[in-house]
Structure 1
Amino acid sequence: MTNPAGTGGRLSLAERASYGFGDFGYSLAYNMAGAFLLYYYTNVVDLPAAAIGTIFLVARLLDAVIDPLVGIAVDKTRTRWGRMRPYFLFTAVPYVGVFIATFSVPDWSQGAQLVYAFLTFKALGIIMSLGSIPYTALMPMMTANPADRLKLGGWRSIGTSVGVILGTAATMPLVEALGGGDEAKGFLGTALLFSALSLFALTMLFRNCHERIEDDAAPAAFRVLPAVRQMLGNRAWLVCFAFCLLYFIRFGAMLGLTIFYAKDVLQKPWLIPVMLPMVSGGLLIAAFIAPPILTRTGLRKGCIGAIVVALALFGAMAALDHQADWQIGSLSVPPLLLPYFAFSVVTSITITGIFSMAAASVDYQQWLHGVRYEGLLSSGISTSTKVGMAIGSALAAFVLSFAGYVPDAVTDAARADIRSAYFLVAGGLLALQALVVWFWPMDGDWRERPRPSA
C-alpha cells in the first residue's frame, strides 16, 4: 500500500476546502429536493401525497441494489485520473441536468406526471450514486491521519450546511423572486441557479483533491460475493451503516414535516425559512466543535452523549410549542426556537461522526481482511443515506395521507396527527441511534485486540 500522506503527512487548506466543496455540490440539489419536492409535487403540480410517498420509497429502495453495483465498479476502476476522480468529472453535468428536469414536470395527465416524477427522481438518485459513492470513498484515500480525517469531516459538514442553507432557507425566497408569483417557474429558475453553483463546486473537487493511499492488495479484478461477505462481517461498517440509516430517516422525516408543522400546526408559515435554516446553522457550528469533542471523547461516547442531550432538548421543544410567543422589542419569537436550534447543533455533531466512521470502517476492513474496498464500503453508506432519506420522506408523505391533509382545508385532527408524528418519530429514531452506536468497535487501542473469528 503506497501512502505518501501517511499518518504524518498533512493536507493543505485547499485540499480540505475543496473536499468540502464536493459535499456542497452534491447536497445542494439533494437538499432542495428533500425539503421541497414533496411540496412541489403536491402543491404546485397537484399530485396525490400517497402516490408521491410511494414513489419516494420505491425509488430509493432500488438503491439497495444500485449502490453496491456502483461501489463494485468504483473498486474496479483504474484510469489516468485515478479511481475516484473520473466519476466527479463525468457525472457533474448529467447530475445537474436531471436535477433541473426533476423540477420541470410537464403539464401532462396525472398518470403521465407520476411516471415522469418517478423516472426523474430515480435518475437523480442513480447519478447521485455515481458521484457521491466515490466522494465518500475518497476520504480514506486522501490521508490515513485521524486528525486530518476529522478535519475533512468538518469541512464536509461545512459543505453540507451551506448546501442545506441554500437548499432550504433560500429556496422559497428565490422561488418567489424568480417566479413572480408563478411557483412552477420559480422552482425551475431556482434549480437552474443551484445547478450552476453545483457545477463549480464539483469542478473544484475534481481539480484539487487527489488519491494518495492506494490499496495494492485489491486488484481491479476480484470476486464480488466474497468481498460482500467480508463487508457484512465488518462490525465497524455495520454500525456506521445502521447509525447513518437511522440519522437520515429522522432527517428526511423532519425535513419534510417541518414545513407542515410550521405552516399548519403552529400556523406560522414565516417559520419555514427560519426553522429549516437552523438545521444548516447547526451543521455549520457542529463542523467546528465536533472534531475536538469527538477527538477527546471518541466516536462512541461522543455520539451517545450528543444524542442524550438532543433528546432532552427535543422534549423541551415539545413542551414549549403551545406557549405564547416571547416579545423581544417589536419581535414575537416562539419559545420553541431556542431548544430547536440547540437540538440542531447537538444532533449535527453526529454527522461529523458518521463521516469519520465511514473512513475508519475502511481501516477496520483492512485490519480484518488485508484489503480495503473503499468503493464497496462507501456504497453501503451511500445506500443508507439515500434509503434513509427516502424512508423519512415517505413517512412524511404517509403522515399527511393518514392525517387526511388537504392543503386548503386543514382540520384540527390533521394538525394533531402531524404534531404527534413530528415528535414521536424523531425521538424514537434518536434513541435507536444511541443503541446502535454503543456497538462501535474502534475507540481506544482497537488494533491491539484479538481479531474476531472469521
Structure 2
Amino acid sequence: MSGNRLRLTEKLSYGFGDMGFSLPYNMASGFLLLYYINVVGLPAAVVGTIFLVARLMDAVIDMAVGIAIDRTRSRWGRTRPYFLFTAVPYALVSVAIFAVPGDWSQNAQIAYAFVTFKLLGILMSIGSIPYTALMPMMTDQRDERLKLGGMRSIGTSVGVVLGTAAVQPILAAYGGEKEPGGYLAAAAMFGALSLICILSLFRNCKERVVDDAPQRFAILPEIGKMLRNRAWLVSFLFCLVYFVRFGGMMGITAYFAIEVLRAPWMIGVMLPAVAGMLLLSAFFAPPILARTGIRKGCVIVLAIAAALFALLPMVENQPTVFLAIYIAACLANSITITAAFTMIAETVDYHEWLYASRKEGLLSAGVSLATKVGMALGTAGIAFVLAAAGYDPEAVTDAAREAIRWTYYGGVIALLLAQIGIVLAWPMDGEHTRIRADIVQRRLAT
C-alpha cells in the first residue's frame, strides 16, 4: 500500500524521533571535547584520536546494521523493533559518557572514554539507521517526504537547541564549565527526553511502502550496486561534508567564542542559532525546494551562506552585527538539511528503478556512516588543530587563537563550496515522477 497521506501525529512523531536520537549526541558533539580536555584533563591529541578511531570503526557496524534491517521480518515491521530495543540502553549510555571517574588513572580514564563513546556510537547506529530507513517506507510521495524532512529538521533543531543552549545554565548552576556535576545532570535530563521521543516514534509511525525482496541476499553484490547508485553517492558525499562542517563547528564554537571573540556568552547564542534556524527553515524549506528542485535550491543557499561567512572576520568587534550575519548564514544553510533528508529517501526510489530492489537498510546505513564519520572528522580535526597549536587552557597563546580563528572561517567556507560541487551531480530533479511511474509499471507487470 503506497501513496498514503500521513496523519499529523505520525509526522510529529517521526520528527521528534530525530530529537530522541540527536539530543544526547548533540550534547556530546558540543561539549564532550570541552569535558574531556578541560574537566577530565585528557590530552587534546588523545581525545581527537578517540573520536576518529571510534567513528572509523563504525564502517563495519553501520553496514551490518543496514543489512540486518533488510533481513528483518517481524510483527512490528523491518525498522520499528530497533526503536523499541535501543531506547533504554541509548539513554543510559548517553549519561555514562559524562561520568568519567575522576579518581582513576589517566590511562583508565582514556579507556573508559573510548568504550563509552564507542557504545554510544553503536547504539546510535542501531537506532538511527532504521530511523532513516523508515521515511521511504512511510510514503512514496515527494511532497509528503519533504514534509517529513521538515519535521525531522524540527526534531534536529530542538535537539541542538536543548543539547547546546540548555546546557549552559545547567553548568552555571553547578559551578561552571569546569565542574563535572553539571555535565552529568544535563546528560541525565536529556537521556530521559530521548527515551520518551524514541518510544513515541515506535508507537506512532508505520511502514507502508515495502517490497517483497527475499530475506536473504548476497551482501557484496548489493554493496556494489549501492556504490553504482549515483543518487546514493551524491547523498553520501553531501552528508559527509555537511557533517564534517557541523561537527567541526560544534567542537570549535566554544573555543572560538571564549578565545577569539572574548565573549563566552556568545556560545549560548551561536550554537543554538544553528538549530534555531533549522526550526525556522523547516516551515519554508519544503515549498522552496518543491519549487526550485533540490539541486538548484541547495546551490543558491550554500552560495549565500559562504558569502555571509566571508564577511564575519570584518565584524568581529561588533557583536550585534556579527551575530546578525552569522544567523543569516545559518538560516540559508539550514535549508540544505531538509534537502538532505529528502535526498536520502529518494536514493531508495532510484535504487529500485535501477535494480528492482529497495534495500532501505543498506542505503540508509551508508548515509548514516557519512554523518557519523563526518562528525568524527570534524570534531577530531578541531582537537588536532588545538594540539598542533599548543593549546593550553591555562595559558592560551596568540598563535593558538589565530589557529582557532582561521580554522573556523576558512574551514566552513571551503566545506560550503565543496557541497555546491557535490549537489550539482544530483540526478533526481525533474526525473522523480517518471522514475516513480516506471517503478509502479514494473510492479504491476510482475
- TM bucket by the smaller chain? over 0.9
The whole-number CA distance in structure 2 between the counterparts of 1:192 and 1:31 is: 14
1:98 paired to 2:93 = yes
Give 1:417 deviation, angstroms.
1.0
Is the CA contact (8 Å cut-off) linking 2:38 and 2:178 kept in structure 1? no
The equivalent of 1:261 in structure 2 is: 256
Give 1:318 deviation, angstroms.
2.2
The whole-number CA distance in structure 2 between the counterparts of 1:446 and 1:24 is: 29
Structure 2 length-normalised TM? 0.95
Instruction: Provide Cα deviations, 1:306-361, integer angstroms capped at 9, x if missing partner.
Output: 1100111101112211x3x3xxxxxxx44211110011111111000110000000
The equivalent of 1:196 in structure 2 is: 192
Which amino acid is 2:23 matched to?
Answer: L
The equivalent of 1:119 in structure 2 is: 115
Give 1:153 deviation, angstroms.
0.2
The whole-number CA distance in structure 2 between the counterparts of 1:61 and 1:354 is: 22
The equivalent of 1:330 in structure 2 is: none
- Of 426-435 and 172-181, the range deviating more from structure 2: 172-181
The equivalent of 1:177 in structure 2 is: 173
Decide which of 298, 301, 307 is 1:303's aligned counterpart.
298
Is the CA contact (8 Å cut-off) linking 1:179 and 1:187 kept in structure 2? no
1:84 paired to 2:70 = no
Structure 1 residues 112 and 143, CA, compared in 2 at 3 Å: closer, same or farther? same
Instruction: Provide Cα deviations, 1:176-208, integer angstroms capped at 9, x if missing partner.
Output: 225688721111111111111111101110010
The equivalent of 2:237 in structure 1 is: 242
Which amino acid is 1:425 matched to?
Answer: G
Structure 1 residues 367 and 447, CA, compared in 2 at 3 Å: closer, same or farther? farther
Question: Is there any run of 5+ residues in structure 2 with no aligned partner, and where?
Answer: 439-446
The whole-number CA distance in structure 1 between the counterparts of 2:379 and 2:397 is: 22
Matched residue SS, 2:428: coil
Instruction: Provide Cα deviations, 1:7-32, integer angstroms capped at 9, x if missing partner.
Output: 3x210100000001100000000000
Decide which of 364, 378, 387 is 1:378's aligned counterpart.
364
The equivalent of 1:397 in structure 2 is: 383
The equivalent of 2:40 in structure 1 is: 45
The whole-number CA distance in structure 2 between the counterparts of 1:448 and 1:294 is: 18
Decide which of 6, 10, 19 is 1:15's aligned counterpart.
10
The equivalent of 2:443 in structure 1 is: none
The whole-number CA distance in structure 2 between the counterparts of 1:365 and 1:448 is: 14
Question: Is there any run of 5+ residues in structure 1 with no aligned partner, and where?
Answer: 326-332
Matched residue SS, 2:358: coil
Q: What pairs up with 1:199-348 in 2 under 5 angstroms?
A: 199-216=195-212, 218-321=213-316, 323=317, 325=318, 333-348=319-334
The equivalent of 2:442 in structure 1 is: none
Give 1:448 deviation, angstroms.
4.9
The equivalent of 1:328 in structure 2 is: none
The equivalent of 2:444 in structure 1 is: none
Which amino acid is 1:415 matched to?
Answer: R
Instruction: Provide Cα deviations, 1:244-278, integer angstroms capped at 9, x if missing partner.
Output: 00000001111111101100011111111111111
Structure 1 residues 180 and 40, CA, compared in 2 at 3 Å: closer, same or farther? closer
The equivalent of 2:131 in structure 1 is: 135
Which amino acid is 2:247 matched to?
Answer: G
Is the CA contact (8 Å cut-off) linking 2:97 and 2:116 kept in structure 1? yes
Is the CA contact (8 Å cut-off) linking 2:386 and 2:404 kept in structure 1? yes
Is the CA contact (8 Å cut-off) linking 1:178 and 1:190 kept in structure 2? no
The equivalent of 2:64 in structure 1 is: 69
List structure 1 runs of 4+ shifted beyond 4 angstroms: 178-182, 446-449
The whole-number CA distance in structure 2 between the counterparts of 1:335 and 1:232 is: 45
Which amino acid is 2:261 matched to?
Answer: L
The CA RMSD over aligned residues, in Å, is 1.3
The equivalent of 1:329 in structure 2 is: none
Count of equivalent residues: 435
